[in-house]
Homo-oligomer: A and B are copies of this chain.
Amino acid sequence: MKSPIPDYLRQVVENARPADSGEVAGYIEVLAKADASKMAVALATVDGKMYSAGDDEVEFSIQSISKAFVYALAIQDTGLPQVLEKVGVEPSGDAFNKLSLQRSTNRPMNPMINAGAIATHSLIVGPNATAEQRVDRILKALSRLAGRQLRVDEAVYEAELKDANRNMGLGYMLKAAGIIDGDPQEAVRGYIRQCSINVNVRDLAMMASTLCNAGVHPVSGEGIIPHQSVRQVLSVMTTCGMYDAAGDWVSNIGIPAKSGVAGGIIGALPGQVGIAVFSPKLDERGNSVRGVIMCEKLSSDMGLHMMDISQVARATVRTSAMTITGCADQPHEYVQEVPIFDLRGAVRFAGAERLTRAIVHEFSSSDTEDPGSGRYTNARAVILSFRDAYSLSDVAQRIILENIRRLRAAGRNLVVVDPTRVLKLHGDHVPEDNALRVVRDLAEARRYIGGTGCRAVSYSDSW
């Protein structure tokens, strides 16, 4: 059987093909000669599956899309606070090729405008590095992200260098403003060279997917970008990635993105999928006309807008019970009801809060200030299951441990089903002892609570 997803991507391409407006970037001859009929789209999932359609092997220069990844590199090489001293994070409201320095700090407004990108580039390796050293570092990092060896398009580089007066101007201005420490000519040459690296949509989708996967490469499993940098890069792509249309892009498309003047656009949907599109003709803002249409289609079809409620993890709590009976070392009539609180999904505040509420509800009698069912007022043991929880945030961790402390203080035994140990007991000094036991599954829980000879019957919603 064949997957329908490639067919879907072909539809996305064909849906955008009739949009023939816009112009190929004409400011340098090499770009102006691009074949305007080429179109491609690629998706890479956070677990490494790649789908693509159209001219997915056609190479083009990465241009401004490199800014996002070089920003991540700069944070890695220099440290976030040091980067923030040199480049801000605010949308500029101006065109991408304006100087746009912040009044009090002299910083370029953000790393996605040219001035900010040149400043960011100058932070790679070190202030006195040559253009070649910096581009070598960048080329290696982008190649690891793409999963193959990339190379600089020398024709593009030479052509853009000839037309680099405005960027040279920005470079000297940044030097004068104390933002660039080394030679501005080296910084600008390196920046132009970084923009001249050739990629195809599959490369870009894989690079974007690494951002979506918290900086870990989906295929190689290598941690390439630190988690903190990923958050920073995605935040800046959200507010500044699409030039002076940040608000418009956020409300319409709603995904962190970055476009380049050769016709590429990437989108990064955290935790899900990296996307890349390509088509050379640009609108008056410098974004690929068909590329934007493809992104709109993908965002709308896929429900990717980050403000769509359905996107957000809804950790759930299921309350059930295990009835333990027929134990060899207990009277025949022995029946013990053990409540089970089962957390599922990515548990953050909301999930921990729901767990708390469920516990309070089941253990509070109906005549209290905050009345509950009181069903398990007398339960001696409680099972918390994290089998289906794939993460616990800090605050969730703390709230859950506090619940455990309070249950123990009330004299109950706790059994935690946590085969992958998402709950960190030792960080908060909760001793694992007779009153708190971590087990791998419910059978083990049953054995621990009732003894080896008992049977357990679940009343809950299993099949």
List residues of chain A with CB under 8 Å of any chain B CB.
Answer: 1-5, 7-8, 43, 45-47, 49, 51, 88-93, 99, 110, 165-166, 168-177, 184, 212-214, 227, 230-232, 234-236, 238-240, 244-248, 250-251, 254, 256, 269-273, 300-314, 344-346, 348-350, 353-354, 356-357, 359-360, 363-364, 370, 390-391, 393-396, 398-399, 402-403, 406-407, 410, 441-443, 458, 462-463
Contacts and interface: CB of A to CB of B under 8 A. Distances in A.
Contact of A4 (B301, B402, B443): B402
Given A251-B89, A306-B306, A462-B463, A272 B3 contact: no
Contacts of A313: 271, 310-314, 345-346
Nearest to A253: B235
Nearest to A235: B251
Given A212-B309, A271-B309, A303-B348, 18 more contacts: A1-B364, A1-B406, A3-B356, A3-B360, A8-B395, A90-B246, A99-B99, A165-B173, A166-B177, A169-B170, A169-B173, A238-B307, A270-B309, A271-B313, A272-B350, A311-B312, A314-B345, A462-B463
A348 B348 CA distance: 21
Nearest to A11: B398
Contacts of A234: 307
Given A305-B231, A395-B303, A4 B175 contact: no
Contact of A5 (B311, B353, B463): B353
Given A247-B90, A363-B1, A441-B463, A314 B346 contact: yes
Contacts of A305: 231
Contact of A176 (B89, B169, B214, B364): B169
Of listed A88, A169, A391, A462, residue having the most chain B CB within 10 A = A169
B251 A247 contact: no
Nearest to A349: B302
Contact of A348 (B46, B213, B310): B310
B235 A110 contact: no
A394 B247 contact: no
A99 to B, nearest CB: 8
Contact of A346 (B7, B310, B348): B310
Given A271-B314, A305-B231, A1 B407 contact: yes
Contacts of A213: 309
A406 B213 CA distance: 31
A176 B171 CA distance: 13
Copies in the complex: 4
Given A2-B406, A165-B184, A302 B239 contact: no
Contacts of A2: 360, 406
Contact of A311 (B170, B271, B398): B271
Nearest to A443: B463
A390 B314 contact: yes
Contacts of A246: 90-91, 239
Of listed A254, A305, A306, residue having the most chain B CB within 10 A = A306
A441 B462 CA distance: 10
Given A93-B90, A238-B307, A309-B214, A302 B393 contact: yes
A442 B272 CA distance: 29
A247 B100 CA distance: 15
A230 to B, nearest CB: 7
Contact of A247 (B230, B239, B441): B239
A354 B174 CA distance: 47
Contacts of A359: 1
Which 3 A/B pairs are nearest by Cβ-Cβ distance? A271-B312, A169-B172, A303-B393
Given A169-B169, A303-B394, A395-B303, A251 B236 contact: yes
A216 to B, nearest CB: 10
Nearest to A372: B1
B398 A8 contact: yes
Given A238-B307, A314-B390, A92 B89 contact: no
Nearest to A244: B90
Contacts of A99: 99
A302 B348 contact: yes
B46 A403 contact: no
A172 B168 CA distance: 6
B308 A399 contact: no
